[in-house]
Structure 1
Amino acid sequence: MKFLLSTLVFLLFLNISFAQSPEQKLKDMGIELQEVTEPSANFVKWRKVGNLLFLAGDGSEMKGKLGKDLTVAEGYDAARQTGVDIISTLKAACGDFGKIKQFVKVRGMVNSTPDFYDQPKVINGFSDLMVEVFGEKGKHARAAVGHCSLPSNIVVEIEVVVELEE
């Protein structure tokens, strides 16, 4: 029994000691963060209120409308790439991913036709990436809604709220 207990403690230690940081996970995935640019209009990219960090909507570079121009898979990829941009903004805002306690809320907007109903499948591209990179901290409450248009005909726009460590 004593051997079993010490083995379990050792295995727990290994799991904790070798847990990958978000930076290492990004590196292993071949994802490089981009430099965050200034907003194109009169707003800020993020605002910290107490221990909450609100990120302005960030959108895909891909253009088009789901249900007309693009497949769900292409929309998923656009949401995933938007996720990379948002992770870059989080890094600029926090300086250190260790300051992120958890993702709280995500609002995913999808440029889609009135008869397109798979907005959640598109925004899964973002959500899946956050869990891949941040683990349990990356899970979030979420809305995935369709819009008849988005700025500059982008495919998706995503807003994020994260809680920071105090």
Structure 2
Amino acid sequence: MTGAEQRVGQLGLDIPDYADPPYGRRYGPMKPFHRVGDLLQLSGLTPESRAGERLHPGVVGVDVTIEQGYAAARLTAIHTLGMIRYAIGSLDNVASLSRALCFVVCPPGFELLHEVSNGASDLFVDVFGPETGSMGRASIGATALSRGNCFELWLDLECVPEPTAS
């Protein structure tokens, strides 16, 4: 059976390292993740590189196409893989994705939020497979996100249990 780390290599994904510099330096003090037992909750991630370059900033349906929004959501999912590695050491330590909140900057009345969010969901299924990589998801229309990003993702997941000390 192929693990998530091996699939990342097969897909040729360039996953960022969140160990240095610290997460959130442009946005002020914040916790990059929170782990309670086997539950891992990640802070919001965007389609913004570690250097601060943004992919497709703006409003989906106005100055960002649905296809560009999908690409931004996919890149955000790749960034999320980097945060998972930072938090639990390896993507192979993911037992199951649980819940995603996808925020899409869009005008009032925009109804194709799911088509943008599919960029993240499709990437997770590609990496983790359909059983581990499928999750509950909500796509929420937003009027603005920090630094003009068009997409932000919050993700909760179940980790492989940590070994107990004996």
> How high is the TM-score relative to the length of structure 2?
0.86
Cα displacement (A) at 1:125: 0.2
1:45 to 24, 32, 49: 32
Unaligned runs of 5+ in 2: 48-53, 162-166
Which structure has the greater CA radius of gyration?
Answer: 1
- Kindly tell me the number of residue pairs found equivalent between the two proteins: 148
Cα displacement (A) at 1:47: 0.8
Tell me, yes or no, if the aligned pair for 2:39 and 2:157 is still in contact at 8 Å: yes
1:80 to 74, 81, 88: 74
Q: Give the AA of the match of 1:163.
A: E
Identity of aligned residues (%): 28
2:135 is the counterpart of 1:140: yes
SS in 2 for 1:57: coil
2:44 is the counterpart of 1:57: yes
SS in 2 for 1:81: helix
Cα RMSD after superposing both structures: 1.0
Cα displacement (A) at 1:100: 1.1
Structure 1 segments of 4 or more deviating over 6 A? none
Q: Give the AA of the match of 1:56.
A: S
2:62 is the counterpart of 1:68: yes
Look up the match of 1:27.
9
Unaligned runs of 5+ in 1: 1-18
How far apart, in 2, do the equivalents of 1:28 and 1:117 lie? 34
> How high is the TM-score relative to the length of structure 1?
0.86
Look up the match of 1:150.
145
